[in-house]
Structure 1
């Protein structure tokens, strides 16, 4: 019986620190705020009568109720009423809260059960809880944890061997029932060995209903110190995504583990030193999660609104799609570079297209594969537009490239085509016969910006240098297509070429004058020009 509304379950986990606070603590924390509110106009919420406030609080979910109770002492008092939490108790655990006979308040009982259920659900990947439950085997776990295990129908532990008195105390089963069962089992002193499922069924049968079993356990827990449970739950709240991703990555059967590792690292740039520790204790799982956008989102609790179970299922469906996609691509008669880029860009497009869906809930494998096929067709369209691999790598940094992948809108494809067309116009102008002199006089840094296959990165657009100024003019023309910017580019190129030509002319004249002075003074040796500055240029 898990929480029925898993969409807010993860956020609820973060709020349980408030449940252990006393009313005195809340009063001390909020006394100043309430004093200020008392002097406010009569239209404020807190000036409503308690009956009206209770009607408002009844409409809140557990998270909102906790938040409201943390604001002031009045809402804390009203928000702790049994009548409010009995509703959430029944909705979450599908049994009624035994108000008259339970020694704990509904709010406290709800908080303890939610914390325990969250920890028990994570048992397969929660090493701290495993040490508590498995560390003392073959001896049973601590009595505190056995009291919680009484609530679970299926427990992944060996048979429990305990004295009759302890079994009667923990499960509430009468001595007569135990003596009857004892006759059917082999004697081991005063101890009896039972399967956990058998004890659970005996407890439900003896108490008469699961509701009374819950009541029995909660009454036992009413006198216990829950510091350890609360501490482990805080650790779970902080680390649950890391634990679950680590378990999913490294606890697969051997054939599946090799396959998952291959798909996870396929055509990804990664550090071999970190990947070499795959599956070991010191492996940097956070680094591995950063290699994919979807695992990075899961690590940060963004998938499925923070529901770790649904989130990891989405991750599993995603990499199942990757397996199908990889098999399809490797079956094509493509070169390695094209295969790699189709794969990477398709995955990028899938993430862009489904990111909003993944953040909201579960995305099935079929949905992933349907979008992947659509994205692959768009990637191939972009590859045909680029005409060759060099052009393809050049246009991948364009905003229109990703927009077309995410939407498939032909407008963005036309923008990509226009960018390439304008790039080609600049290249053709530079290589015209009448601009040969300018091309040969341009410094290498400026000349490379005008080449067709040059990427205009953000780094080359900032600053007051001549290359930065030319880069900005090129960027404006390539993205807008306005002829004004093209004329500005041509004018700046010719101006730079003239400046270089003037520099060369000045240097030649200086050398000629120096040689004439030396000849007039009777020296016939030519001057050394190695110390003269020379501009970066010269494709002569």
Structure 2
């Protein structure tokens, strides 16, 4: 029975701690632990609380569970009304696909919804939840595991080994009487009536005995009505805090052996990484956070920024992303390129894909086809930038330009022309300073200023501030390289000549101070 209404489901999960701090709504209301008292004078004669309870219930019927919890957390009066069974029985039916019968269930609809919601959330992620696995993998799920085993009878498919139990234990756990137990497909053990059961068989027995899944759910909730759910709340909170890390770790390291090797190769292909940190890949000491930081998409997933925080949809986006990476690597390796060019094409293509799809990935699932279509477009743009650069040195120079990123995202040839113009002006500065007539300038110009004029020099924006000669020359050179106006080029020449003359004057002033007398 899958949960419905996924558009509010994830928000509800994030806020569910509003209901997980007490054992019952009545206790919460009586002791005033959950909400603050109403400020009678703040509402006025025509405020919301002036309406009757019946009218408020009709209004709140239009709210989803998330909104209903938020309204109920505002004051005692609204908490009481928002805990009404008639409101939560509707959500119970819509979310779990079974009706809630208050007459035969010893818990309230709101409590039942809360407990079943938390169990289903934990159970759906059993494969990556080691703590819950340890509680369910016991051969005999009796105390201290009886509490958790009772929930399992509601699940159609249980990914656990077959269980060895006696008929009395089955009756204690799931209420299936001994006479209702069928003897077929059972392997008798040496100890009396101890029998090996498959989980699917137990599920069918429970359905037959209780008369349907709705009655099984009611039976389980009745069993848990007097239990202490502190451990469930604690495990749910732990899962909500760690679910992205757990699911990412499971996906990264629990692949079949051939696919695991392939995934590791693709994951680290042409990525700058610490060999020391990745040497423990898959081990208990592995730095998972570091591995997640190697790719923009996995880093966003780690922080819950994919698919509106839906970890299941988000991990599908991650899977589709690396499926695209696999095709991309195969395509690049098929080209007659050197290692440096292959790595640059790969890195820049992935960067372009991320920039183009970042907003979409934050809200929805991006399938592999979409990833690959965008990747092909980005590869064409990266190759166009490579052709404009002409060589690897130029390519490294232009990668920090804003025009470079703008062209990757938009494909507008105007930005490509800006990149080409930047390189032409870089070459013009280089050719001018290396003219034979400027030999003296090159010899007397301070090293920090001469380095700015070098062809492969990168001018960072942080170095443009201040009144130092390097900052002044850098600002003027920056304006020329990005605007192409000849006036800035002339200003660069004047500054260089000015600083060269000042440096030459400094050396000339030092000359008389140098002793030329012979040493006796």
Q: Same fold (TM over 0.5)?
A: yes
Give the SS at the match of 2:261: helix
Residue 363 of structure 1: aligned partner: 366
Q: Does 1:308 align with 2:311?
A: yes
Residue 390 of structure 1: aligned partner: 393
Residue 98 of structure 1 contacts residue 211 of structure 1 at CA under 8 Å; is this kept in 2? Answer: no
Q: 1:498 aligns with which of 501, 509, 517?
A: 501
Bigger mean CA offset, 343-352 vs 169-178: 169-178
- For residues 305 and 26 of structure 1, what CA distance do their matches in structure 2 show? 36
Offset at residue 427 of structure 1 (A) = 2.4
Offset at residue 45 of structure 1 (A) = 4.0
Give the SS at the match of 1:31: coil
- For residues 238 and 408 of structure 1, what CA distance do their matches in structure 2 show? 40
- For residues 55 and 433 of structure 2, what CA distance do their matches in structure 1 show? 79
Name stretches of at least 5 consecutive residues in structure 2 with no aligned partner.
Answer: none
Residues 113-152 of structure 1 aligned to structure 2 (within 5 Å): 113-134=116-137, 136-137=138-139, 142-152=145-155
Q: Deviations over 1:405-440 (max 9, x none)?
A: 122122222222222232223223323444443333
Residue 16 of structure 1: aligned partner: 16
Offset at residue 102 of structure 1 (A) = 1.2
Number of equivalences: 513
Residue 360 of structure 2 contacts residue 366 of structure 2 at CA under 8 Å; is this kept in 1? Answer: yes
Residue 267 of structure 1 contacts residue 340 of structure 1 at CA under 8 Å; is this kept in 2? Answer: yes
Residue 30 of structure 1 contacts residue 72 of structure 1 at CA under 8 Å; is this kept in 2? Answer: yes
Residue 154 of structure 2 contacts residue 216 of structure 2 at CA under 8 Å; is this kept in 1? Answer: yes
Q: 1:54 aligns with which of 38, 53, 57?
A: 57
Residue 94 of structure 2: aligned partner: 91
Residue 148 of structure 1 contacts residue 217 of structure 1 at CA under 8 Å; is this kept in 2? Answer: yes
Q: Does 1:241 align with 2:234?
A: no
Q: Deviations over 1:20-43 (max 9, x none)?
A: 3453488456537x33x6235445
- For residues 411 and 306 of structure 1, what CA distance do their matches in structure 2 show? 37
Residue 531 of structure 1: aligned partner: none
Residues 454-473 of structure 1 aligned to structure 2 (within 5 Å): 454-473=457-476
- For residues 419 and 332 of structure 2, what CA distance do their matches in structure 1 show? 25
Offset at residue 444 of structure 1 (A) = 1.5
Residue 525 of structure 1: aligned partner: 518
Q: 2:478 aligns with which of 475, 478, 482?
A: 475
- For residues 374 and 242 of structure 1, what CA distance do their matches in structure 2 show? 32
Residues 211-226 of structure 1 aligned to structure 2 (within 5 Å): 211-226=214-229
Residue 442 of structure 1 contacts residue 497 of structure 1 at CA under 8 Å; is this kept in 2? Answer: yes
- Over 3 Å counting, the alpha-carbon distance change for 1:372 and 1:99 in structure 2 is same
Bigger mean CA offset, 477-486 vs 104-113: 477-486
Q: Deviations over 1:154-207 (max 9, x none)?
A: 1123333333233234333344323x5389764741334322211211211222
Residue 26 of structure 1 contacts residue 72 of structure 1 at CA under 8 Å; is this kept in 2? Answer: no
Residue 190 of structure 1: aligned partner: 193
Give the SS at the match of 2:196: strand
Residue 162 of structure 1 contacts residue 193 of structure 1 at CA under 8 Å; is this kept in 2? Answer: yes
Residue 103 of structure 1 contacts residue 222 of structure 1 at CA under 8 Å; is this kept in 2? Answer: yes
Q: 1:254 aligns with which of 257, 275, 300?
A: 257
Give the SS at the match of 1:334: coil
Q: 2:298 aligns with which of 278, 292, 295?
A: 295
Bigger mean CA offset, 4-13 vs 340-349: 4-13
Residue 36 of structure 2 contacts residue 74 of structure 2 at CA under 8 Å; is this kept in 1? Answer: no
- Over 3 Å counting, the alpha-carbon distance change for 1:491 and 1:26 in structure 2 is farther
- For residues 103 and 57 of structure 1, what CA distance do their matches in structure 2 show? 24
- For residues 138 and 406 of structure 1, what CA distance do their matches in structure 2 show? 58
Residue 423 of structure 1 contacts residue 452 of structure 1 at CA under 8 Å; is this kept in 2? Answer: yes
Residue 31 of structure 1: aligned partner: 36
TM-score (normalizing by structure 1):
0.89
Higher relative contact order (CA 8 A, sep 6+): 1
Offset at residue 70 of structure 1 (A) = 1.7
Offset at residue 382 of structure 1 (A) = 0.4
TM-score (normalizing by structure 2):
0.92
Greater Rg over alpha carbons, structure: 1
Residue 298 of structure 1 contacts residue 312 of structure 1 at CA under 8 Å; is this kept in 2? Answer: yes
Name stretches of at least 5 consecutive residues in structure 1 with no aligned partner.
Answer: 516-523, 528-540
Q: Deviations over 1:129-169 (max 9, x none)?
A: 111011x3266572211210111111123333333233234
